[in-house]
Amino acid sequence: MPSSAIDNAFTAASATTAGSDPTYAGALSFMRRPFSKECTGSDCVVWGVPFDSAVSNRPGARFGPQAIRRASAIFDNDPQYPFARDLFAGMPTNDYGDCLFDYARPWETAERIEDEAAAILSSEAFLLTLGGDHFVTWPLLKAHAEKHGPLALVQFDAHQDTWPDDGERIDHGSFVARAVDEDVIDPTRSIQVGIRTHAPDDCGIAILYGDEVEEMSARAIADTVIERVGTRPAYLTFDIDCLDPAFAPGTGTPVAGGPSTAKMLAVLRRLGQLDLVGADVVEVAPAYDHADVTAIAGATVAMYMLGLRCERLAGAR
What mean pLDDT is predicted for residues 150-172?
94
Q: Is 161 annotated as a binding residue?
A: yes
Decide if pLDDT at 5 tops 80: no
Q: Is 292 annotated as a binding residue?
A: no
Q: In this structure, is residue 22 part of a structural domain? A: no
**pLDDT, averaged across the chain:** 94
pTM for this entry: 0.94
Q: In this structure, is residue 90 part of a structural domain? A: no
Q: Is 239 annotated as a binding residue?
A: yes
What's 242's domain CATH number? 3.40.800.10
108-155 tens-digit pLDDT: 999 999 999 999 999 999 999 999 999 999 999 999 999 999 999 999
Q: In this structure, is residue 80 part of a structural domain? A: no
Task: Determine the Cα–Cα distance for residues 98 and 176; give it in Å rounded to an integer.
Answer: 24
Structural domain total, the chain: 1
Q: Is 183 annotated as a binding residue?
A: no
Q: Is 241 annotated as a binding residue?
A: yes
What mean pLDDT is predicted for residues 69-74?
95
Q: In this structure, is residue 264 part of a structural domain? A: yes
How many Cβ atoms sit within 10 Å of the Cβ of residue 156? 27
Task: Determine the Cα–Cα distance for residues 8 and 188; give it in Å rounded to an integer.
Answer: 44
Determine whether 100 is exposed, middle or buried from the number of CB atoms within 10 Å of its CB (0-12, 13-18, 19+). exposed
How many Cβ atoms sit within 10 Å of the Cβ of residue 75? 20
Determine whether 3 is exposed, middle or buried from the number of CB atoms within 10 Å of its CB (0-12, 13-18, 19+). exposed
At residue 139, the pLDDT reads: 97
Three-state SS for 62?
A: helix
Q: In this structure, is residue 281 part of a structural domain? A: yes
Do residues 207 and 160 make contact, with C-beta atoms less than 8 angstroms apart? yes
Domain that holds residue 154: 36-61+97-316
Sign of CA dihedral 47, 50, 55, 59: positive
Q: In this structure, is residue 101 part of a structural domain? A: yes
Q: In this structure, is residue 163 part of a structural domain? A: yes
Do residues 228 and 271 make contact, with C-beta atoms less than 8 angstroms apart? no
Q: In this structure, is residue 75 part of a structural domain? A: no
Q: What is the per-residue DSSP string for 286-302?
A: GGG-STTHHHHHHHHHH
Q: Is 198 annotated as a binding residue?
A: no
Q: Which residues pair with 280 in a beta bridge?
A: 129, 237
